[in-house]
Structure 1
Amino acid sequence: SKFGIDNAILEKESLPRPKVCAGGITARINKLFDFDITCLVHRQVRQILFSYEMKEKFILSWPDPFIYTIERANFDYYLAQKAAEKGTKIYDNTKVEKVEGENIYTNKGVFKAHYVVDAGGAGSFLSKKIQVKRRWAKTLQADVKVPLDILEKYNEKIRADLNRVPLGWAWVFPKKDHLTVGIGCMTRSTKRYQLVSLLKIYLDFLFPVYEKIKVASYPISLPSWTNKVAKDNFLLIGEAGNFVDPLSGEGIFWGIKSGKLAANFLKSIIEKKKSCEEFNKIAQKEIFYYLRVLFLISAFFYRMPSFFLDWAKKSNRVREYFAKMLQGKLTAERLFNFLPKDNLYSNLTRQGLRDG
Structure 2
Amino acid sequence: MRIGYFLSSEEFSPAELIEQAKGAERAGFQSLWISDHYHPWVDAQGHSAFVWSMIGALSQATKLEITTAVTCPTVRIHPAVIAQAAATSAVLTGGRFRLGIGTGEALNEHIFGDAWPEEDVRLEMLEEAVEIMRGLWAGGTFSHHGKHYTVENARIYTLPDRPVEIHISGFGPKSTEVAGRIGDGYVSVMPDGDLVAKFRETGGTGKPAQGAFKAAFAASTDEGRLLAYEKWPNAGVPGELSQVLPSPKHFEQASQLVTPEMMDDAFVCGNDPEAHLEMIRKYADAGFDEIYVGNTGPNSQGLFDMYASQILPKL
Normalised by the length of structure 2, the TM-score is: 0.31
- When you count helix as a share of all residues, which structure comes out higher? 2
Normalised by the length of structure 1, the TM-score is: 0.28
